[in-house]
Each structure stands twice: as C-alpha cells, then as structure tokens.
A and B are shown apart, each in its own frame.
Chain A
C-alpha cells in the first residue's frame, strides 16, 4: 500500500473534562476525499484543527506523508506554518486589507517565490475556481460564493499535500451549495487533490466523499464508503444521522445455522437475513431496523414477503409524493409512497419490508 497522506494513531484531545477527540485512528490515501461527518460539537472540527496544528493533541501521533507532525509523548509539535497544508475556513478568513490577488499570493510570498511564478500560479488558481479577472478586486467587495472560491484558490495555490475544508459550504445558499459541491468534486479529480472535508450535512458528505467517517462524542462511529455507512450503519447513531430510521421491537422465534431468522413483531412473523457473525437464541428480545424507503405500502391483493398490518394516521401531500404517518405494533413512523394511490387517514393497509434490508440487533 502506498504511503498514507495523513495518519492518526490513537490521537486524543481534551478540553477540560470534555474528550473532544478520543483515541482516534485513521488514515487518508492520496487522491481521496475523506469526510468527517457529525453533529456540531462532535469533535470533527477539532480533528481538523489538530491536523492543521492549530490545536495540540494530548496524546497519540499525527503523521503527514509519513512524517510525524505531532507526537506529544516525544514532545514534538510542528507549528502550522511548517506543515505544508491548505485550509479553507468556515468563515473563509479572507484578509480584508488585501486584494484577491494578494490573498491568493500570500502562501507563495511566504515561500519566497519569484514574482513571475506568483503571477502565473495565482492566475492558474483563479482560473481553476472560475474567478479569472477578479484579481484586483478588494476582498471585501466579493459575494459569499466568490469569497469561498478565493479561499479555495488560496488553499490550493501551492499544491499542498492535503487540503483541509472546514464546512466550506455552510454559509452559502442551497442552490450555490449544490453547485460548489460539484465544482469541488471536479476540481479534486482534475488536480488529483487529497481532501479532508468536515461537514454536518449528510447530503454533502454522501455526494462528495470517497469515504466518510461518522463522528460522535469524539469517536469515529464508523468509517466507510457512502454506500456502506448508509446501507450498513454500524450503530443506531450512524443510521439516524444519515437519514430516517424505523425501529421495531421483536422476539426471536427461530434462529440457527440457517441464513434466515424468524422474528415475531406483535403477532406477525417476519423473516430477516441473518449475519453469520452474530447468532441469536430463540426467545431473545431483538430490535429490527431499516430505512423507511425499504417499506412499501401494498395495494389490495398484492402479496409480498414480511407483511405487516398498519393503520394510516396522517397524510401529507408533498407534491411529488405522499407521506403517510403509519402505526405498526404500537410504533409510528413515516413512509413515503407514490401518488398512484391515496389512502385516507384511518385506513387499514398492509406494509411490506424487504427482508434483505432489515438489520437485526440485540435489544
């Protein structure tokens, strides 16, 4: 395996008694977009600041391109300016007293490049973020989206080993956000950048990332491709954070070497695809978890596996679909359905859950 661009080994950071980052280990390979996804205060920004050298870890080791940049046990902490990184701040941190050109040229001037090189590279960077011709503007005369692009250009102008993006899109409006998401992805492919991306927006994480780390309480709950973390959430928190979850309590009826496990939910028997790594005893209380989109409302006469009787409690018309609040075995949840049928509140319906998409856990 090639050299990891970034490696965390059991890194911890405490603020007073709070474990902001709790013995975290991971690595990022060249050319990938690695996203830290989590709610605010989960430690994702602290992780990013540890990489940049803006915070010092209490324990563990951080390596960039195989070189340790922070290892408190050995008394090693490299200053931010010695780490050769690029970073886009949530606030963009565009220096208001400098022009666009001078903002972007700053990292090059620090590195004592010649004027010719600076001019060429700044214009290349401006081109790549679509701001050609803006170089003499005052930094404060730019719109939010333009400032964001300047911050991006400044971060990548000297081709850093790793680009750190701290919620770079959170201050933009929804439309611009979608556009910038695509542009960042395209830029990353074109320049084969390695990016560490921090966000609390799961849609952003899903569309941008090669891999996602879902962060909670200073720990990585799961690291995987977008599909992995969405389809096979390792914990309930991960599942919940990435979308809606439906959770039903049941009791194991039959389980064995057999691939299929039978579970009683209320008085209905459901089959679930088992996990060879996990076995259950008959009579054990379990929890069945799936996504609402894996639940279908059956039309009259239609027969499917895993049928559950349900009651429609409320109907919402969303234009492109209906959303029904349904009640099954004492639990209410929302299921979306196409517009071909409309069920009124109070109607009894049958639901069907795809057995391959039900996850089973000990209660």
Chain B
C-alpha cells in the first residue's frame, strides 16, 4: 500500500467533529441568551431606575422602595405562611392516601391512584373559579344553602381570605401530585425490611411506627420541601382570592407593581430578586441535604412488598374516605362550574328560567374568543414542538460523553425549575424590552411561546435524558458500526425510539401552555392574548358565568388530552 492512501486529509477530521460540537455550542449559546440573560437582566434590572428600554440609571432606590413599602415584606411573609400552612394537612393526607393505596388491602386503590393522576392535570384557575361559585359570600351556593339553616344569617364561608386560599389550594394542588410521587416510594419499600420487623415480633402498629415511617422519612421530607418550594411559586389562586381581600403574596405583588400606571418595573424587579435569593438558598439546602441518593438506597431496595396491612372492615371506610375527598375537592367544584356556565345569573335559582345557553353562545360568538383560541393554539403548538426539538437535542448532548460544556448546559436547563413563572416572565420581559428583540418578540405569540418553552426546560430535558439513558448508547453505536451515518441513525433508530416520549412530553407541554397564566401575563398584548388570559379578564370583569364556560372548555380539552397521554404513556411502559 502506498502512503498516498492517507490522502484522507484533515478535513475529514473536522467534518466528523464539527456537527456535534456545532450543535453543542449553538445549544449553549441559545440557552445562555434565553435562560441566562433573563436572570441576568432580572438581577441587574433591580438596580436600574429607568424603565426597560430607556437609558439605564443605576441606583439602589428600587431596593429601598421595595423594602420601605410595608407591603413588600408582608407579601414575602404571606408567601411563606400560605405555603407552610397548606402543606401540613396536604402532606398528612397524601402520606395516608399513598399508604392506603400502596400498603393496605383497601379495595379500588388503583382507581384512586388514577383519579389522582387525572386530578393533577385539572387546571387550577377554573377550579378556583368554581370555588368562588360555591363559596362567594353574596351568591355562593353553599352560603345560600346555609342561610336556609336556623340561626345562620351571615355568610358561613368566605373564599377571599387566608383560609379560603388554603382551602382552595387543598383542592387544586392538594394531594394529587404528592400521592403520585409517594405511591411508588411506598410500593418500592423493600419488603424484607417490614418482614424482618414482623419476624422480630413487631405488630402492625409497631412496624409502621418503628420501621416504615422512619425509613420513608427522608423521602417524605423531600416531597414536603419540594411541595413547599412549588407552593411559593403559586400565583393564580392568590390573584383571584387574595387581591379582593388585600392579601398579597410576592407574585401577586409583582403583578400589582406592573399593573400600576406607570409600571413600577424597578420595585417589581427588586422584589423578584429578593425572592430569587431566598429561593436559591432554599434550593441549595434541598439539594445538599435531601436530594442525595444515599438516603434512599434502602427505599429503592430489593423486591416489591407483598406484605399488605389488613384493614378488616375498615377497608371500606378507608375507600369511602378517599372517594369522599375526591368528591368534595374535585367533583363538586367541577359540577358547579358546569352549572354556573348554564345559569342566567349565577346563584339565582329562584328566577324564571334560571338556565340558559346564552353564555356559551356569547362565548362562541365573541370574535375575541376566536382570536384568543387561535393564539392559544399557536402558542401551545409552538411550545410543544419547539420544546421537543430543542430539549431532545440538549438531552442528547447531556448524555453524550463527547460534550465538553455539560455542567453549563445542565445548570442552564435547571434555571426555570427555580424561577417561578412570574419571575421568568419578568426576566424575559426585561430581555425583550432592553434588546432589539423588542420589535421581534415583545407582545407577540412567539414571545409568549419562547417564555413557555423556557419554563418547560427542566421537565422536558429530564424526560428525554431518562429516555436516552434507558436506551443506552449501544443502540446508536450499533447503527454507526453497521455503516449508518449519524443522520440515518437519528432518523431510523433514535427518532422512532424517542417518539413515545416526545409525544407524551409534547402533549404535557401543550396542555400547560394552554393553561399557564403567570408566564404570559406580563408578555401578552391585545393581539396575542391567549385563552387563559381571556379567562383571567372575564373573571376580573365579573363575567363569572362566561368565565365558567371558558374555564370548563379549557378543562375539557386538557382532560381529553391527558387521558390520551396516559394511554400513550401506558403503552410506552408496557412495551419496554
């Protein structure tokens, strides 16, 4: 062989390495601009006294204003208080229900579990509306009904209060997600641990107290802290129920600052930065002490437990309790949402012909509704597809050993997990207003879609990453060695294998894009108003019946999509 056989020159080398490096640096650049810059603008913006887009004037006045306004610290304190207070009953109930489903002979456990899954996806805004229909002091059904009872002549319930907010949260975010997180943990608890306790002479109660709960304690604590942090990010319920009563949490306070004329960007941003700091500290401790793998090694132990606690005749009582909770917290408000959307004037059952289709007809004849529907569909589709494209590539880069900027990519992807929707939206707003993106994205559906795509980053990336890790590099490498180019491998091997994940994730992001309020609320304009914002406007202008109709419509769309998604997810789980 002549040495000229080495005529394959160095260009081959660069050609081979370029695509993945190029993809990597493109992804990194995109993430830095899209995730890093909003955060940066948020922090810098808090020291900027001029509104976004104007020449910057730096100073600490925003911080001073934010802290001298007595409402600011009160709002932060209220955020904490609400999050803690509603966490306690929710956590106790979740552990109880998860234990009943996973570790006892309660009948219908699977059904209760499925219901929690569906309930988790019921959007919270329509549910909050439904509770208003039930509890409002002047027209709430439960208050009117209670007036018929002797000795009661003042309204029994008031949703526009601290306890009203706690109650409605117990219905919207309450136990559904926590049960879904805890049931697998309870199921996986190594059977041998409990069996050893029984053999050592412990009865059921002793075993639960001395073995089961202590072993699960770290996981329960982790779920609690996670729920607490997520609770801090809540916006919708506080906006609808807190604002009329003058109860502000930090997110509604930020919204309030930006509703003023002129918009108080500086104060809003300073408040957001303070909160970000607090949240950062909390998350640091969460990651440091709770999310480590070591503490859960026992829980992910060997063998599924077959040892189920026998409840005897109490098992029907237990099931009854679960069903009652579901009925009161989910079915009752949804039912009144339906009723509300068909009532001429909500709460007035006594008037002639109280029921009407007028609200639905008005809704469907309102040109604004169709614009909003179109906007929502565009936003949700772009969000779902964009998320799939972007995060499947990023997840691929994250699992690939060739990636050199992995820690950077990873941290940037997790930023939205820390950033509540309203803060992300505020950061994105700064980004849009102080850069040339203003003309391109500010107030458009594309800008809203971009913010939503960013918000989806942690979960979507994680899903693709898990999928790719489960597939392993071998399947891809086998195709390469068989002679397939990277593009052919992607098309014939990776894409078909990731399709179910992409579909499930896309559906989920489509759904959350449809219902999200806190992310688009600072970014929309009249041309780009999505359905969820229209729902917000209807509720603010007192058109509760039309709001009920629209809320119900959104709920039904989401419900149908999520049931389809569950089918898809189940098929995925069954085939692998």
Residues of A bordering B, CB below 8 Å: 3, 52-54, 66-68, 71, 74-87, 89-93, 95-97, 106-107, 110-111, 140, 151, 154, 158, 164
Contact = CB atoms under 8 A, between A and B. Distances in A.
B118 interface: no
Contacts of A84: 483
Contact of B6 (A68, A83, A107): A68
Interface in B449-490: 472, 474-475, 477-486, 488
Given A54-B480, A96-B497, A91 B10 contact: no
A90 B477 CA distance: 12
Contact of B485 (A77, A81, A83): A81
B1 interface: yes
Contacts of A74: 6, 10
Contacts of A52: 477, 481
B389 interface: no
Contacts of B294: none
A95 to B, nearest CB: 6
Contact of A66 (B1, B497, B576): B1
B467 to A, nearest CB: 12
A107 B483 CA distance: 6
Which of A52, A83, A95, A107: most chain B Cβ within 10 A?
A95
Contact of A96 (B6, B17, B488, B576): B576
A87 B13 contact: no
A82 to B, nearest CB: 8
The 9 closest A-B pairs by CB, nearest first: A75-B10, A93-B474, A93-B478, A80-B480, A107-B482, A75-B13, A66-B1, A87-B481, A110-B483
A62 to B, nearest CB: 12
A74 B5 CA distance: 12
Contacts of A158: 483
B209 interface: no
Contacts of B363: none
Contacts of B496: 97
B264 to A, nearest CB: 52
Contacts of B493: 95
Given A75-B13, A81-B483, A111-B483, A66 B475 contact: no
Interface in B327-353: none
B575 interface: yes
B12 A97 contact: no
A81 B484 contact: yes
Interface of B: 1, 5-6, 8-10, 12-14, 16-17, 472, 474-475, 477-486, 488, 492-493, 496-497, 575-576
A106 B481 contact: no
A67 B13 contact: no
Given A75-B10, A76-B12, A93-B477, A106 B482 contact: yes
A95 B20 CA distance: 23
A67 B5 contact: yes
Contact of B575 (A75, A78, A140): A140
Contacts of A154: 478, 482
A85 B6 contact: no
19 contacts: A54-B480, A75-B14, A76-B8, A76-B9, A76-B10, A77-B13, A77-B16, A78-B8, A79-B486, A81-B480, A82-B483, A83-B481, A86-B481, A89-B474, A96-B497, A96-B575, A97-B496, A106-B479, A110-B488
Contacts of B16: 77, 79
Contact of B1 (A67, A76, A86, A92): A67
Nearest to B1: A66
Contact of A97 (B9, B472, B497): B497
Given A76-B6, A78-B8, A96-B576, A110 B482 contact: yes
Nearest to A54: B477
Contacts of A164: 481
A326 B30 CA distance: 70
A96 B470 CA distance: 12
A78 B12 contact: yes
A238 B493 CA distance: 41
A197 to B, nearest CB: 16
Given A75-B13, A76-B10, A110-B488, A85 B481 contact: yes
A92 B576 CA distance: 16
Nearest to B495: A97
A80 B10 contact: no
Contacts of A151: 478
A272 B482 CA distance: 53
Contacts of A71: 6
Given A68-B5, A81-B481, A93 B475 contact: yes
Contacts of B14: 75
Given A3-B1, A90-B474, A106-B492, 11 more contacts: A52-B481, A54-B477, A68-B6, A71-B6, A76-B12, A77-B12, A77-B16, A79-B485, A81-B480, A89-B477, A154-B482
B491 to A, nearest CB: 11
A122 to B, nearest CB: 13
A89 B482 CA distance: 12
Contacts of B12: 75-78
Which of B17, B484, B486: most chain A Cβ within 10 A?
B484
Contacts of A111: 483
Nearest to A89: B474
B338 to A, nearest CB: 43
Given A89-B474, A96-B576, A110-B488, A76 B480 contact: no
Which of A79, A80, A106: most chain B Cβ within 10 A?
A80
A164 B477 CA distance: 13
